[in-house]
Each structure stands twice: as C-alpha cells, then as structure tokens.
Structure 1
Amino acid sequence: VHFYCKSVLNEIQNSFVYSCIASCHVPNLFLSVFLVGYPFALVYRWFFFHQSATVVHLFHTFSGLALATFNFGSRVCHSFLCIVIQFLLLRLMGRTVTCVLSSFIFQMIYLLMGYYYTATEEYDIKWTMPHCVLALKLIGLALDYYDGGKEQVSLSADQKKSALNSTPSLLEVFGFSYFYGGFLVGPQFTLQNYQHLVSREMSDVPGQPPNSVVPAMKRFGLGLITLSVFAIGGPHYSDSYYLTDEFEAHPFWYKCVYMLVWVKINLYKYISCWLITEGVCILSGLGYNGKNEKGEHQWDACANVRLWLFETTPLFTGTINSFNINTNAWVARQVFKRLRFLGNKLLSQMFTLLFLAVWHGLHSGYLICFSLEFIIVNVERQAETLVRDSPLLTSIAQSHLYPFVYVVQQLIHWLFMGYPLVPFCLFTYDKWLKVYSSIYFSGHIFFFIAFLVLPYLRKVFVPRKRGSEKKED
C-alpha cells in the first residue's frame, strides 16, 4: 500500500485533486481514502465477496493494518493492543457489568493518555485520530455483547438491532476494527452490521455483490465538491487568522462576518472526508440500508452527513442532526439512553455532552464548545416552543414574511454556529479567550439574554388558558 500510494502520488502531483489534498495538510490521510479505500472495496467485490468468513476477516484485517501502517508506522501497535485486550475482556469477563465498565475505563484511559502524550497546540494527524473512532467501536462492542445476554423484551428497538447473541472470534473483532471503510475517520457501525456484510446480506441482490457503484460514485462526487470548496476557501479563512493583529484591528461587524463564512468553509473539511469514506462503505456493501417505504433500495446506513439538511436548515439542532450522524447516533444509543436511570433528560444530556468533550481531547476548548452547545440547543428549544404555542408567531412563520424570517434566522444560526467552534478549533484557553474578548463575548451575552427574556415573551405572546381548559388538560 505504501509503495502503491507513493507511485500514484508521483503521477498526480500536478492534478487538481492533489492540490486539494495538499492544501488540507493531511496528504497521507486523503491519499488513503482516495487511492486505497476504493481499490480495496473493488478488490473485495471482485475477489473476496464469495470467500469464506475467515478469508474475508483476514482481508479486512490486513488491508486495515496496511492503511494504519502507511499513515502511522509503528504506532499501529496502539490499536492492535487495544483490540486484543478488548477481546480478552469479552472472553474472560463475559456478559457482565464488570466487562462493560472495565472496557469503558480501559479504552477511555488509553485514549486520554494518548492525547496527553501527543498533545500539541495545533490540529495534527496522529495515531490518536483513528484511535478515538476505534475506542467508541470497542466500547460499543462490549455494550452490544452485554445486551446480547438480556431478555429480548427488556431491549429497546436499537439494542435489538445491535445486540450480539454469540461471542465473536478474535479474527472477527480484528476485521470489524480494521475495516478499511471506517478505521481512519469513521463512520461508526456495529459488529452485527459487519457480520451481515461478511455473510453477504448487505446487498440489494442477496448473495451477490451489490449494485452500489453509482450510489458510491455520487457520494464520492459530492465529497470532491466539498473538498474543493474547502481547498479553495480554507487558506483564506484559516483558524490562525483569528490570532493575528490584523483580525484584532477589524471592526466588530467584520469579525462576525468572518466567523460566519469561516465555519461554513471549514466544516467542509470533515464533510468531504465523511462523504468520500461513505462512498467506500457503499461500494463494499456496508452502506446498504434495506428498502424505503416506496420499495427503493437505500444506501445510507453509513451516512455521516445529510448534506441537503446541513445546507438548508435554519436550526442549530438541524445542523447537529445532519453532521457526524453515526457518532451522534452511537452516543445517543450507548450513552444518553443508558443514563435514563438519572430520571432527568437535561442531566442525561449534560453528561452526554461532557463525555463527547472528553472523548475529543483534553483541551479546554472542547469543554467550552460542548457547554455552549448545551446552552444553545436548550434556548432554541424554548424559542421553538414559544413560536409553536403562540398563534401570532405561528401565523408570521406561516405567512409571506417567512422568507425574510428565514434569512435572518440563517444569519443568526451560522453566526452562532461558528461561535462555539472557535474554541473547538483553537484548543487552548489563551487563544479562544483572546478571540472571544475581541468580539465582546457576544455569543454568551446573546444566549444569556435570550434565556432570561424567553419566559417573559411567553407571557406576552402565548394566551393564557381559561380555567375550564386547564381542567380538561
């Protein structure tokens, strides 16, 4: 794989694709996705699709190990060690709470220690990048194995789809962990989905390679478009510009506009990776998601972004629901819903976002980002409830004035979507504090005022219920 990528790289150095890749400062990562992921998927379809499960597991294991070695060299030992230890925990502890807790503690501590020893003040592509994806996979594996020992009636619909009824083999766990379509940047998928792939069930033609070339190329094409947008706009709207004296000297309105455009362009960095790797998953068959209500075959099982929703939604929750979908679904299923015993949704949401912040890394910027997300989402929900319960505001939202309202809402939406992502991208408190000071902590002030004002607006715009109506309710 190493020599293959190097030879192809020499041939396309002057191409547009390479200029996009080079501008992202992560050539090995993008080369792995572009030049290796798709060929591996084609090799699987042509030569290994009808082979035994053992052969398929070996192919996925060694192809994934080749990708990991090409990108991270000898540091591939970290993922290898964690996979072996996770397998031993399953075998030695069985379907127990002890196994789940031990898996969670070990995998998270190993990941956090990796963050600690490799931390810098810049966004670097290190072995910890795919390892954070792997950590969720292995923790989820322990939870799904634990669920497999419960009575079916006690499982939720999501748990029934992912619960493991049998103990996986070591080779199966390796193939699942190193699968080339999800090892580097995701998406998250369950071992049960991987088992369906190996048993040739993930296809619109059961037992045969799926007719997924066209759907895969569509996602690949979208990935190229978003990568191009980032490659062209990224150098003009970089994270580092926030820390310059030039940015500091600009007026407040300019800084707000810069932040609005910056967040739109820089999120394409993640979206392009997810779209391109989704194409790999679709090509292999892992992206197959059965038929929809119209009887049409769906290929969105590994979709990590809903691009149309991402571009058009005026809501913060809409953007969150359209972005990093599989990771969000994993956290919702394995963390948020399992905190039901707390008896408080807000508390469960708070701990879930705290987990996400720690999972991303040890920098203070992650904590600030997800704490702001918690505040913004809950203020937005209060505002939505106010509009829904107010006849006047509902009529305005449904009138010919809505296009104007939509434009204003989008401007507010993307301005304050960029606001919490500033610390996420700048990491350390001295950097994000400097930027927030230069824009007068406008996001904090805006949502703090909104939080205080919304209850009073509710009294003004929502008519009070009469006594008889209250009794009926």
Structure 2
Amino acid sequence: MTTGTFYVGSRLLEPLCAVIPLPIDQLNFLVCQLFSMWFGHIFRTKMSPKTIPPYYRHITEIVVGLGLSYFCFGYQMLHMFAQSTMCYALMKYGPQTSRHLMVFVVGLGYVCVCHIYRQYYDYGGYTMDVTSPLMIIAEKVSSLAWALHDGSVPEEKLSSDQKAEKIKELPEPVTFYSYIFCFHGFMIGPLVFFSEYRDFINGTNYDKPNPSKVSNGTKDDVESPSPKDAVIKKCIQAAIFSVLMVVTPKIVPYDYMFTDEYLYESTFIYRMLYMLVSVTMIRSKYYTAFLLSEAVNNVAGLGFNGYDSNGEPKWDLLNNVNIWTLETCTSMKVNIDSWNIRTALWLRRCVYDRVPRKYGVWPVFLVTSLWHGFYPGYYITFLSAAFVITAGRIIRRNIRPKFQTDETLKQIYEVITFIGTRFANVYLCAPHCLLEFMPNLRLYWSQYFIVHVVSAAPVVYYTFINPPKKDKVEKSQ
C-alpha cells in the first residue's frame, strides 16, 4: 500500500505548498473554489438567462466543470463520466418498472467500489480524491431516476413533495451532463435536485413574487436579486471556522483519544468533557466546507429561495447546515436533521419515503453508511445513531408528556435533553473520526457505553416490560 500518494490531480501549484501550509490536494480544491466564485459572478451577470439561451449556459457549465475536474482529479475524472453515463443509459433504456431502483443500486454501488479501492490503496488517508464528487453524483442520478419514475405514476399516489419534483421525460444529454458537471457544485455539492437546477439554468428560479414590490406579471419585469450579502456573510463565517479548523487540533487533538493516558489514566468526567470539546471542534472543518460551497453556488445564482416578509431575498435553498439549531437543539433527530441537510433530504426522498414505515430509520442509516465508505467507524456511528433516534422517539412519546404538566418540569426536561444531546452527538460522532474498530471499541469501553445503555433502557422498558396500550400509541402517532 502507498498511503498518502493517492492524489493524481494537477501538481502545477505544488511550489506554492512551501509558502501556503496546505497539501496540494487541498490547495487545488481552494483554488478551484475561488476560481468558481470568480467565474460564477461572470456566469450570473454576463451569461444570465435573460441574455444567454439555456443551451449555451449548459455548454458553459460542462466545459468549465470538466476543466476543473481534470485539474483536481486528473484521469480519475473518467470515473465521474462512467458512473453518470451508466446511470443515464439505465434511465433511458432500462425497464420502466425498475429503472429507478437499478440506477440507485448502480450509482451507489459505483461509489462503494471506489471507496473499497481507495481504502485498500490509501488506508486512513485524507487525500481529496474523486470519491467526493462520485458521492454527489450518486445523489443526483438516484434522485433524478426517482423523479422520472414519479412522472409515470398517477398523481393520487404521490406526496406533495414528489409531485413537485417529478419529471415526465429524461433530460437531453447536454442538460444531463450540465447537471452532473456544473462547475460550482460538482466537487462537494451541496446536492441540488434536478428541478431546482433546471429552474436555475432557465432563470425561472427568480419567478417568485417580491411582497415589497409591485410586478406587472411579466418575466422581464422580474429583477434578479443579488446574492452579495448572503455570500459575504457565508465567506466571513467560513473564514472564522477555517481558523478554528487550524488552531483547535493543536489544542485538543482528537487522536489523543487513542492514547492509554486518555483511555485508562484519566477520570470518566475528564474523558467525557475532552470528547465534548474535541469532537465539537472537529465540526469546524465541515462548517468551513459547507459554507464555502454554499457561497460558491450563490455567486453563480443557484440557491435563491424567494423573499422574506420584508422583501429581502433569501439565498438559503442550498443551505447544508443550520449551525445554531445544531448546537442548541434538545433532540438528536433535530441535531441530525440540521447537519448535511441536502444529503438528509436526498435520504428522505429516495430511501425513507420509499420503504415501509415498519423499518423506521434503519434503511436510511444503512444507506448513508455505505455512501460514506467501509471504515468500521462509519457503521458504528450511523447504526448507533439509528438506535439512539429510535430510543428518542420512545422517550418523546412516553416520558416527555410527564414533564409537560408544569413550567418548572418543562424547563428541567429542556435542560436534561439539551445536555444529553450535546454529549450524545460527540459520543456518536467520535467513531466517524477515529474510523477503526478496535480503537472505537476501547473508546466506548472507557465511556462505559453510556449512551447505548441510556438509550437501551427506555427501549427495553417500553417494548418488553411495560409496552403502552395500542390505542394510546396510535393516538400519540
């Protein structure tokens, strides 16, 4: 194995690595994001739907996207073309009754094979390779396949969400590859659904009334709002979190949780508090990536979501994280729903809404584990999270009502669930960072499997010892 030498992108900027303390893969990523922000401004202002036909906007997206793909990933970009083309062929020529399922399996399966290949040749490495855009493509092709399937289903069988996303015909190849390789979103997303992308290219995403202005109802009358304020805000936030990303690993390194000193020589309280701080700070690098990717898409004009009651434009369509809600919520479900929001929406539309309710959230967390890869830490994190959320639903249904009879009890419940959510979050996320099985097993052993034990108690009690009456359960649901 050749750990750390997996990157095959351009080495043109490698001399700058001696000046800028970034490895070449991260430097290339940053340069591509900055270029996309610059060109995105040109694309939005000089090549707007009002002046350029959609076909030429699609061609521009493809050409620039392919160029950046080659710069960042070299010959590995062929995987992006292969994965997307296989799925497009299935949508075009596959059996109508099952092509959506075939695309889901092939799109996700292609990512899984690449994860295994990378894990073998770059075990434990953090080099940014083509698996990141392949993960986004798997989301795009599967959601497109389901939208195409829903377009052939009677409307009375569809939810309101499915009705809004459905399409009647498979898009032409130029439109499809523009959707796959769009230069401002192919690297790390966030995921944009096809209907949203189509409206963005055609300019109909701006056809939303502004309550503070009077319109005569014509398309030419619709003023294209500027994303300037939203982009500046997100870039400032990304800069702050990027500083935390660099500084905090030196103060509270998460790999200290591997050590015998942490596992066997420190107190339980210290171990829990150290995990709380260290794993919480790890989120700063994800916040940086999420915010920067949102800003890049907004500059290009993608992400507009109408106007608020004051007539101010909202650029939150592609927001991928709700930081305040995530850090202050009192429920693991809300916590998870506030993280990687667009992927969570994909999982809901393509998995949760498509399987029988009796399976609950387990298929969702199994799919997201496969989507991430095959390190044992992913499966420990996501399957444990499914168990904790299942327990949380039982607690909310059976225990929470007992605290709603008095204002003081309500506040006590809120404090307990707030603290519990903070510790449950880092406890569940730690394996996602440590990756390997035995280190995570030792880590959880040092924590006495506390979150698993606390979650198991209500599950066992209300399932086997004192199950609620059937009519009471039905009313609560």
2:408 paired residue among 395, 399, 418? 399
- Equivalent residues in 2 for 1:383-462 (5 A)? 383-390=395-402, 393-396=403-406, 398-399=407-408, 402=411, 406-452=414-460
1:383–1:454 contact (8 Å) kept in structure 2: no
Q: Which residue of 1 aligns with 2:67?
A: 66
How far residue 256 of structure 1 moved from its aligned partner, in angstroms, is 0.5
Specify every segment of 5 or more residues in structure 2 that has no aligned partner in the other structure, as ranges: 1-8, 211-218
- The match for 2:341 is 325
Are 1:291 and 2:307 matched, yes or no?
yes
Does residue 266 (structure 1) correspond to residue 266 (structure 2)? The answer is no
1:216 and 2:205 matched: no
Identity of aligned residues (%): 23
| 3-state SS of 1:188 partner | coil
Match of 1:80 in 2: 81
Cα distance, 1:306–1:25 mapped onto 2, change above 3 Å = same
The one of 178, 196, 201 equivalent to 1:193 is 196
Residues 107-146 of structure 1 aligned to structure 2 (within 5 Å): 107-119=107-119, 120-146=123-149
Contact persistence 1:145–1:163 (CA under 8 A): yes
Using structure 1 for the length normalisation, give the TM-score: 0.85
SS in 2 for 1:309: helix
TM-aligned CA distance change 1:405 to 1:348, over 3 Å: closer
Whether the aligned pair in 2 keeps the contact of 1:148 and 1:164 (CA below 8 Å) is yes
> What is the rounded CA distance, in whole Å, between the counterparts of 1:149 and 1:294 in structure 2?
40
Instruction: Find the counterpart in structure 2 of residue 240 from structure 1.
Output: 255
Shift of 1:329: 0.8
Query: Shift of the alpha carbon at 1:401?
Result: 8.0
CA distance in 2, matches of 1:306, 1:89: 36
Deviation larger for 285-294 or 71-80 = 285-294
**Which segment is superposed worse, 161-170 or 197-206?**
197-206
Matched AA of 1:430: M
Larger deviation, residues 128-137 vs 201-210: 201-210
2:302 aligns to what SS in structure 1?
coil
Q: Is the 8 A contact 1:305 1:324 kept in 2?
A: yes
Partner of 1:32: 32
Counterparts of 1:338-353 in structure 2, within 5 Å, are 338-339=354-355, 342-344=356-358, 347-353=359-365
SS at match of 1:399: helix
Please say if residues 202 and 210 of structure 1, whose CA atoms lie closer than 8 Å, have aligned partners that are also in contact.
no
Please report the RMSD computed on the Cα atoms of aligned residues, expressed in angstroms: 3.2
Measured in 2, the distance between the counterparts of 1:400 and 1:353 equals 33
State the secondary structure of the residue aligned to 1:48.
coil
Is there any run of 5+ residues in structure 1 with no aligned partner, and where? 465-469
Aligned to 1:373: 385
Residue type of the alignment partner of 1:63:
V
Report if the CA contact (8 A) 1:189-1:302 is conserved.
yes
Deviation at 1:142, TM superposition (A): 1.2
Aligned to 1:45: 44
Aligned partner of 1:73: which letter? Answer: G
Q: Is the 8 A contact 2:10 2:72 kept in 1?
A: no
Task: Pick one of 301, 313, 316 that aligns with 2:329.
Answer: 313
Query: Is contact 2:388-2:452 (8 Å) kept?
Result: no
Q: Which moved more, 1:437-446 or 1:418-427?
A: 437-446
DSSP-derived class of the 1:449 partner: helix
1:230 aligns with 2:245: yes
Shift of 1:457: 12
Cα drift, residue 303 of structure 1: 0.8
Residues 241/27 of structure 1: CA separation in 2 closer, same or farther (3 Å cut): farther
Residue 27 of structure 1 deviates from its aligned partner by: 3.2
Q: Which amino acid is the alignment partner of residue 368 of structure 1? A: I
**What whole-Å deviation, never above 9, does each CA across 1:228-265 have from its counterpart, x for those lacking one?**
22222133333322212332232221111111112211
Match in the other structure for 1:102:
102
* Post-superposition CA distance 1:377-422 (Å, at most 9, x none): 12222222345422xx2245x33982x6645433322211111212
* Partners of 2:391 and 2:169 in 1: CA distance: 44
CA distance, structure 2, for counterparts of residue 133 and residue 89 of structure 1? 18
1:379–1:450 Cα contact (<8 Å) kept? yes
Cα 1:156–1:408 change in 2 (3 A) is: closer
The more displaced of 428-437 and 379-388 is 379-388
Q: 1:157 aligns with which of 147, 157, 160?
A: 160
Distance 1:444 1:24 in 2: 40
TM-score normalized by the length of structure 2: 0.84
- Are 1:300 and 2:338 counterparts? no
Q: Which runs of 4+ in 1 moved over 6 A?
A: 2-5, 454-459
- Cα distance, 1:406–1:24 mapped onto 2, change above 3 Å: farther
CA contact (8 A) 2:57 2:201 kept: yes
- Closer, same or farther: CA 167–450 of 1 in aligned 2, 3 Å: closer
